[in-house]
Each structure stands twice: as C-alpha cells, then as structure tokens.
Amino acid sequence: MITLAPMTLDLARKVLAFEPFDEPHAGDWPHEDTFDALRMFEGGPGTFAILQDGVIVGDCGWFGPPDEDGEVEVGYGLAASARGRGLGTEAVRLLVDWVKTEGGARTVRAEVLPGNEPSLRLLARLGFEDIGERAGHRILVL
C-alpha cells in the first residue's frame, strides 16, 4: 500500500547534508533526483515521502502554491528498486488529489524529459494531456 507522508524539515535537512536518519527507507533512496527535489521543495508544505508499507521508496511534491491561473507543477521520483510495479502511478494519483483538494490547484502540470517513457506513460494513465515541448521537456497537464 502506498501512502504519502509530509516530508519533515528535519529529514529533508539530514538527506541534503548526507547525515544518517532513522526513517525506514529503501536501500537506494534517497536517489540523485531526491537531492534536486528537496532543494527545490525545501521540505515545505506539499513535499512528501512516498511510503510503501511504511518504508520510504520515493518522494514527490509541488513547486509552490497555485499561480494566478490556479496551476501548479508537480514532481516525483521513485527509488529504482520500487519502479515498474504501479507505485509511481498510485503516488502521483495521491499527490494530484492533494494539490487539488488541499492545495487549491485547478490545473496540474508535469514536465518530463522526452526520453522518459515510463513517466510519460504514468501521466497518460492518469489522464494528463501532452500539450507540447518547452525548454527540452514535454509539458503535460491535467
């Protein structure tokens, strides 16, 4: 079972500082993208650890509150050991629900590198529409 747990500032700081932490996690989490995400998310509201049966297997969140049009951008990543089993789809579904109900977003955007077929398929399964390319990324909205 997948759940999203708010990322604590303490955990985010420990991960970014390469300090040990007590939370159960997959052996390959944090991964390279986690560091970039936590720097952008800064462990603030809307930043989550993705848990499978209480073990951190990934992270996700939004890049800030909705803009004047009610749009937010989301990001997500799973440890390699957790990929290919539908966990990402469920995590992004939960994240989208959160940004719409708790975050007040009307539109959710994701930007994906063109070669990242698994992520493009995940978003398509959730109903995201590919609206084109910008700055070397595919832009998908829901």
In this prediction, residue 41 has a pLDDT band, given cuts at 50, 70 and 90, of low
107-142: pLDDT as tens digits:
999 999 989 999 999 999 999 999 999 999 999 999
pLDDT score, position 25: 96
In DSSP notation, the chain reads -EEEEEPPHHHHHHHHTT----S-B-TT-S-HHHHHHHHHHTT-TTEEEEEETTEEEEEEEESSS--TTSEEEEEEEE-GGGTTSSHHHHHHHHHHHHHHHTS--SEEEEEE-TT-HHHHHHHHHTT-EEEEEETTEEEEE-
Does this model's pTM top 0.75? yes
What are the structural domains of the chain? 2-141 (3.40.630.30)
Condensed to tens digits (0 to 9), the pLDDT of residues 47-100 reads 899 999 999 999 999 988 899 999 999 999 999 999 999 999 999 999 999 999
